[in-house]
Amino acid sequence: MTLPTADAPFFVVLNPGSGRDDAHETKALIERVLTEAGRAHEVLMCAGTPVPQVAMKAVERACAEGGIVVAAGGDGTINAVVQAVLGRGCALGVLPQGTFNYFGRVHGIPLDTEAATRALLDATVEPVQVGQVNDRVFIVNASVGLYPQLLEDREAYKQRYGRHRLVALWSAVVTLFRAHRPLRMVMRCGGEERNVRTLTLFVGNNPLQLRQIGLPEAPLIGGGRLAAVMLRPVGTLPLLRLLLQGALGRLGEADDVLSFPFEELSARPALPRRRAMVKVAVDGEIIQLRAPLRFAAAPEPLPLLVPRHPQPVA
């Protein structure tokens, strides 16, 4: 890609559904900082319009004017913008607005919107690995089985009780008390094919998230490698213990957890139906993809604006 110029305009995709602050206040803050810096910009709000549609508009404008696309939202919003940006030759900036903000945090981007906006002004462009499942990118993780159900329930609880980590934890506890049918899958990795039974298949691309839950594969992410995590079929109480171990950063010590790094992995239902569709969680968004599912790092890295003085990763 061609590196953006020092005065390249910003095209900000702002999702009003992300974050706790009023979207109009956030928009005004971003515009004030960029105006004071004398930087050309446009903030495109997603109110009433799907994020992917707004993201495509921003990418078209950025490609035509030598600009930079900026995603202002949580990891799901950033994912939609990355999907539009990747392979188009323009760089991406990020203003984290979500609950966990794994993508922004792992790259040292401030969580404070004003600080993150100022950091865009002298940021450097670095190539960043993103994952891919079939034709969909993911920046943090993609999964099938129990984990998508956890996410669906978490979103329902957030709609009722607000976006808070304690709400997310409580919704997970409630979900785990339900009965769960194990997945029966045929998995191919490293030239070997085997049948597996698992409650969930989780594929991670974010070392911060993996490190926080205590998986040894965290430092191996990158260079074309992702990490797979599978849970053996267990009952409710063992599942609750696994949840606690993850919260304490000790999931890698659990006997019922299998994790390993890989470069390419495919998975399909062991009893395939014609044109079988699989529910997949991609960076917190639930989608349907046709089996087999093929996980790998995207062939092209993402050109990401990284702060010249990154925040410590925490």
Tens-place pLDDT, residues 152-176: 666 665 666 565 666 566 666 666 6
The reply to whether 220 and 234 lie within a common domain is yes
Residue 3 lies in a domain: no
Q: Which of 265, 271, 263, 267 is CA-nearest to residue 290?
A: 267
Residue 275 lies in a domain: yes
The reply to whether 97 and 32 lie within a common domain is yes
Average pLDDT of span 275-280: 85
Q: Quote the DSSP letter at residue 97.
A: -
The 10 Å Cβ neighbour count of residue 209 is 22
pLDDT of amino acid 162: 62
The reply to whether 26 and 153 lie within a common domain is no
The enclosing domain of 187 has a CATH number of 2.60.200.40
Give the whole-angstrom CA distance, residue 296 versus residue 226: 7
Average pLDDT of span 247-259: 89
Q: Which of 4, 5, 7, 72 is CA-nearest to residue 39?
A: 7
DSSP string, 27-80: HHHHHHHHHHTT--EEEEE-TTS-HHHHHHHHHHHHHHHT-EEEEEE-HHHHHH
Average pLDDT, the chain: 89
CB 234 within 8 A of CB 200: no
Average pLDDT of span 117-140: 96
Residue 311 lies in a domain: no
Distances (CA, A) of 237 to 159, 178, 240, 241, 275: 27, 11, 5, 6, 36
> CA angle, corner 173, sides to 167 and 174, nearest 5?
90
Distances (CA, A) of 298 to 22, 73, 90, 94, 223: 34, 22, 16, 19, 11
Residue 193, φ and ψ in degrees, nearest 5: -115, 135
Q: Taking 90 as the threshold, does the pLDDT of residue 307 lie above it?
A: yes
Q: Which of 91, 62, 72 is CA-nearest to residue 30?
A: 72
The reply to whether 114 and 174 lie within a common domain is no
Average pLDDT of span 231-246: 82
Residue 285 lies in a domain: yes
Q: Which of 308, 20, 294, 18 is CA-nearest to residue 134?
A: 294
Average pLDDT of span 55-74: 96
For residue 192, the SS3 value is: strand
pLDDT of amino acid 227: 97
DSSP-H helix ranges across 107-164:
113-120, 146-161
The reply to whether 148 and 285 lie within a common domain is yes
pLDDT digit string, tens, across residues 206-221: 999 999 999 999 999 9
Residue 219 lies in a domain: yes
Q: Count the alpha carbons within 13 Å of 36 in the hemisphere toward its beta carbon.
A: 9
The reply to whether 174 and 284 lie within a common domain is yes
CB 62 within 8 A of CB 90: yes
The reply to whether 30 and 164 lie within a common domain is no
pLDDT of amino acid 172: 64
For the chain, give the percent of residues with pLDDT over 70.
87
pLDDT of amino acid 25: 93
Q: What is the pTM of this model?
A: 0.89
pLDDT of amino acid 148: 76
Going 47 to 8 to 29 to 313, the CA torsion angle's sign is positive
Give the whole-angstrom CA distance, residue 26 versus residue 97: 10
The reply to whether 156 and 124 lie within a common domain is no
pLDDT of amino acid 67: 96
Which residue do the tokens 């061609």 mark?
2
Structural domain boundaries, residue 75: 10-130+300-306
Distances (CA, A) of 39 to 24, 124, 176: 20, 16, 49
- Does 175 or 256 have the greater pLDDT score? 256
Residues 236-243: contacts with CB within 8 Å, 24+ apart?
Answer: 236/176, 236/177, 239/176, 239/180, 239/199, 240/173, 240/176, 243/172, 243/173, 243/176
CB 70 within 8 A of CB 12: yes
pLDDT band at residue 246 under the 50/70/90 scheme? confident
The reply to whether 109 and 144 lie within a common domain is no
pLDDT digit string, tens, across residues 8-54: 999 999 998 765 568 889 999 999 999 999 999 999 999 888 999 99
